[in-house]
Amino acid sequence: MQIETADKQFFTTKVLQWYQPTARPLPWKAIKNPYHIWLSEIILQQTRVEQGLPYYERFVESYPTVVDLAIAPEDEVLKLWQGLGYYSRARNLHATAKIIATQYEGIFPSTYEQILKLKGVGVYTAAAIASFAYGLPYAVVDGNVYRVLSRFFGIATPIDSTVGKKQFSQLAQALLHTPDPALYNQAIMDFGATHCTPKNPLCSTCPMATACIAHQEQQVNLLPVKSKKLKHKKRFFYYLVIHTSEGIYLRQRGAGDVWQHLYDFPLIETEALYPREQVVATMKQHEKWQKWFGKEGVEVLKLSKLYRQTLSHQKISTFFIEVFYKGNLKPIFEQEKEKFVLINPEKIQTFAVPKMIADYLSAPSKPEEESQLKMF
């Protein structure tokens, strides 16, 4: 579609006039430090600003320079990240810090092309770092920008299609206010985040309502368009919290699945979600249970309520079964492919665990969970 130069000029001018740099103060806005900007951008991917803010502050405080982050142990970085989800971001962050420390002698790369080559950095993040830290003329295109552009210019091309991505990125680049790319990028993102919001945008007080196609044609709630609906795979976890006279067992998760390198408990995963009253009896029949505990059996102490967590592509339903085992699991766990560690239960808070496990560990024990003992 052809967009008139006058429309572009009107749009860019109005966005800049609307912007009040101090209206939404955030610690990474007023800085030029590329490492800190990169940290904030990675933390804010798939995370709300309010949730990401304390993590940003903790990372900057713990690792003031990219070299400090590079030399930190991975477990420590993952622990600091705990609760933010999408842990591949933390691993990429750490791996990239190491590359910057070694290949770039600790100096953050300063061209768009070099920044884009960093692990975990896509075109949006590269444009954000290049423009905010170095004033380079690259337009950012995040969810806010897609929404504002598709509404104002009335573009119904799906934003998650290859054609749509190209169309919106070309348009965003054409609109960029090149004398101050950082100011303009921040302005359009703030406009989308606080004014042209996904639900109930403030059209009645919008400075560009007279020229906004979506507003003029009552299409605001229909734009932007997405072609794919996200499908969530359902998974069912039954965690065994195995108490022994020497401590409890944790397992470090391997590669190729969710929560890579984080710690959880020995796990039985099934294709089905069983009613709570059938969980223990069903697990006792499972080959893993029988392999681990053999004929000796275990004392079942507690069965939790059902926990649920939704990840980007998966919905996980989980029961925790606490047991006491008086035998020796070490030789059995040594044969498993995964890494099991026997720990003092008091030390569990020092391990990086998925949010669901942290929630379970911090939940007060419920009398009805204990009383299930009678049923087993």
Least distance in angstroms from the C-beta of 222 to ligand SF4? 11
For ligand SF4, which is the closer residue by CB, 206 or 353?
A: 206
Interaction site with ligand SF4 (CB under 6 A)? 148, 151-152, 195-196, 201-203, 206, 208-209, 212, 214-215, 220
The label of the residue with tokens 């940290």 reads 39
Q: By C-alpha distance, which of 24, 56, 62, 51 is closest to 38?
A: 56
Residue 36 vs 151, nearer CB to ligand SF4:
151
What residues have CB less than 8 Å from 6, skipping those under 6 apart? none
Q: For ligand SF4, which is the closer residue by CB, 125 or 150? A: 150
Q: Which is nearer to ligand SF4, 91 or 195 (CB)?
A: 195
Taking the complex as a whole, the smallest distance from the CB of residue 188 to ligand SF4 amounts, in Å, to 11
Residue 205 Cβ vs ligand SF4, minimum distance, rounded to whole Å: 8
Pick the catalytic residue from 41, 74, 322, 338. Answer: 41
* Least distance from ligand SF4 to the Cβ atom of residue 173, Å: 19
Q: Which is nearer to ligand SF4, 93 or 214 (CB)?
A: 214
Cα distance between the two ends of the chain? 67
**Integer Cα distance of 253 and 261 in angstroms:** 5
* Half-sphere exposure of residue 328: CA atoms within 13 angstroms, side-chain side: 3
Respond yes or no: is residue 113 known to be catalytic: no
* 168: its two tokens: 């919106």
Burial class (CB in 10 A: 0-12, 13-18, 19+), 156: middle
Taking the complex as a whole, the smallest distance from the CB of residue 14 to ligand SF4 amounts, in Å, to: 9
Active site residue ranges: 41
